């Protein structure tokens, strides 16, 4: 396992990160514990969660993922060996994240409430990396890095980036969180966080967690330069395009127990041109005697701007297979062919 510095912090994180958003829905507590045991044994020291998890968002399951991680910490006594990352939801009209039924916003009161609840759920005194799951402002589209711009009206009650940093700064001073990050953020948003921190002496964001995969390389357009020059570590999610790049959904297949079969909410990876691009990448892997999942993960790991690639699995054999990508180096020939497909197919799944 490779270890890379997280932003400008003193933390070195594994190049593969354990994603946990299936715990409490597709995975039981026992299965989640087994996955964390395996990941830690294989050298993974970064675990990623969110107050929203498990997926899909649901008022009856919200918080289960953090609670499962918390029981693992309590049972194993391994808190000091894990860099724990979690997230607070951004602007949403979902009304089950706060006790009073308020729509979630990045206000001081709501952020403080969310941090305290996550600490309780995780059975820990501190969170290593606390991330804003998505912005408080209205954006052009989820992920805020679209291939086509859509105009949006600013929210009348938008909370400024400076005010958000001010709250997070107080939480750092209180010792409840160590470092902060953003997620599903744009180049403008990322730079605004960086410059606001510099101007006002507030905590600097250490990371950005955005989607990145063979079928969504939009991060390279503007954010890669920001990441490299400003030392804002990229933590990539959906490197397997929510399973599509494994080939398991090919030709309309619906594997039993898969996210598509259970929830039918993978439309981000079903847009025009997606199927053709995905099939080409899967074929490329197989033509070169590579596992499609491992090729996709190894490609993401190989990017100069990449700090850690988040992977999640519902079955232990999937996790074991994906963890093997840590030691896979793609040949120049395969990398060139990947770029050739991208040149022709672009980013069908932003």
Q: Is the dihedral of CA 334, 335, 341, 343 positive or negative?
A: negative
Which residues partner with 306 through β-bridges? 234
Exposure string for 251-277, b = 16+ CB within 10 A, e = fewer:
eeeeeeebbbeeeeebebbbeeebbeb
Catalytic (active site) residue 53: yes
Angle between helices 64-76 and 108-122 (to 10 degrees): 40
Length of the chain in terms of residues written: 350
What's the farthest any 2 CA atoms get from each other in the chain?
57
Pick the closest to residue 37 from 16, 12, 24, 18 (CA basis): 18
Tokens 């916003």 sit at which residue?
Answer: 105
CA angle 303, 304, 310 (to 5 degrees): 50
Catalytic residue among 3, 23, 53, 281: 53
User: What positions carry a catalytic annotation?
Assistant: 53
């Amino acid at each position: 396992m490779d270890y890379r510095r997280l932003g400008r912090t003193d933390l070195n994180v594994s190049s593969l990160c354990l994603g946990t958003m299936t715990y409490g829905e597709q995975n039981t507590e026992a299965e989640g514990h087994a996955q964390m045991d395996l990941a830690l044994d294989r050298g993974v020291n970064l675990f990623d969660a969110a107050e929203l998890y498990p997926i899909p968002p649901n008022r009856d399951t919200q918080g289960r993922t953090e609670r499962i991680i918390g029981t693992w910490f309590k049972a194993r006594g391994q808190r000091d060996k894990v860099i724990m990352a979690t997230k607070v939801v951004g602007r949403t009209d979902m009304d089950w994240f706060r006790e009073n039924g308020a729509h979630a916003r990045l206000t001081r009161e709501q952020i403080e409430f969310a941090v305290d609840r996550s600490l309780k759920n995780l059975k820990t005194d501190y969170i290593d990396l606390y991330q804003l799951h998505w912005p408080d402002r209205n954006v052009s589209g989820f992920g805020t890095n679209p291939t086509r711009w859509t105009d949006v009206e600013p929210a009348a009650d938008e909370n400024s980036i400076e005010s958000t940093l001010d709250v997070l700064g107080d939480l750092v001073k209180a010792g409840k969180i160590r470092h902060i990050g953003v997620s599903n953020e744009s180049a403008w948003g990322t730079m605004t966080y960086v410059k606001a921190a510099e101007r006002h002496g507030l905590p600097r964001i250490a990371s950005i967690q955005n989607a990145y995969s063979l079928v969504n390389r939009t991060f390279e357009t503007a954010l890669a330069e920001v990441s490299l020059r400003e030392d804002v570590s990229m933590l990539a999610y959906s490197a397997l395009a929510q399973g599509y790049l494994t080939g398991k959904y090919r030709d309309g297949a619906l594997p039993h127990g898969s996210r598509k079969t259970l929830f039918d909410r993978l439309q981000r990876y079903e847009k025009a041109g997606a199927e053709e691009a995905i099939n080409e990448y899967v074929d490329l892997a197989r033509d070169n005697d590579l596992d499609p999942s491992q090729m996709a993960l190894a490609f993401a790991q190989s990017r100069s701007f990449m700090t850690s690639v988040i992977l999640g699995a519902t079955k232990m054999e999937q996790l074991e297979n994906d963890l093997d990508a840590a030691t896979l180096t793609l040949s120049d020939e395969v990398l060139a062919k990947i770029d050739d497909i991208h040149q022709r197919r672009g980013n069908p799944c932003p």
